[in-house]
Amino acid sequence: MKIIYNKIFLEHNTGNHPENKGRLIYFTQLSNSKINYDESILKLVHTKEYVTSVKKHCLRESSLTLDTPVCKKSFQVAVYAANAAIKAAEEKAFALVRPPGHHAGKNFGGGFCLFNNIAIAVQDLLNNGKKVFILDFDLHHGNGTQEIFLDKKNVIYFSLHQSPPCYPGTGLVSENNCINIPLPYGTSDADYINSLEKKLIPILYSFNPDIVAVSAGFDSYYKDKDSLGFGIGFNLTTKSYKKIREILKPHPSFFVLEGGYKPESIKEEVDVFVK
């Protein structure tokens, strides 16, 4: 699987914030992928007013929310990230981007996210007649992705995440086409894989999508445990991610990076999928 990466993603400057450019330190020697710059794709899932608001926050370098700092280049970088997600969908590749996106809804951001990269790519696929299954294995529930796709046809959102207590506090129950699997702090490979086998596999195979879109958050890896505070994290090892790879093997898939705040977590587990 090809990696889509560009040094532009390092220019979203957040200082010492957990979501910082150091997350991609192990990939900075990669060649720069050619990525389109097209602001119009943002309107696939976001309101015009929200896009304008994000642009203004970036120009002023005023945080989008209390937990989501921005700089003057953040808007431009976030647009490239969304375009990289579309490129990943086209090429069945792994978009190694930042800022992440799954907490951004139609008219809100937060949780380190400006625009919802995976949702933009998925809506583009839906507009082209594709049937899409979204798998989100980030530690946190993708409240923005759920808000965007709840009750929409030809798409299922499936999320395994810690809850409670974990940001954003949503995803406690399933709602129509949004399947939520909340799991406790410290969840092990055995329990996680049990959920994959008993809950993910039947729904995925029954839905039979044209493509699987993956919100790949590696903050569920054991090396990331408690990186955002005590009581936040799972005890997953490479075994769980290899199981996900095995399950997805029969299906065309693409990946977009979400969380993961220890650089080694991202490096070790991206390798599971791109090799």
User: Which residue numbers are catalytic?
Assistant: 103
3-state secondary structure 201-231: HHHHHHHCCCEEEEEECHHHEHHHCCCCCCC
With beta carbons less than 8 A apart as the criterion, state whether 239 and 193 touch.
Answer: yes
Residue of 222, 248, 246, 217 whose CA lies nearest to 234: 222
CA atoms within 13 A on the CB side of 140: 27
Structure tokens at 108: 């809100």
C-alpha 73 chain-centroid distance: 21
With beta carbons less than 8 A apart as the criterion, state whether 92 and 85 touch.
Answer: no
Structure tokens at 54: 């994000």
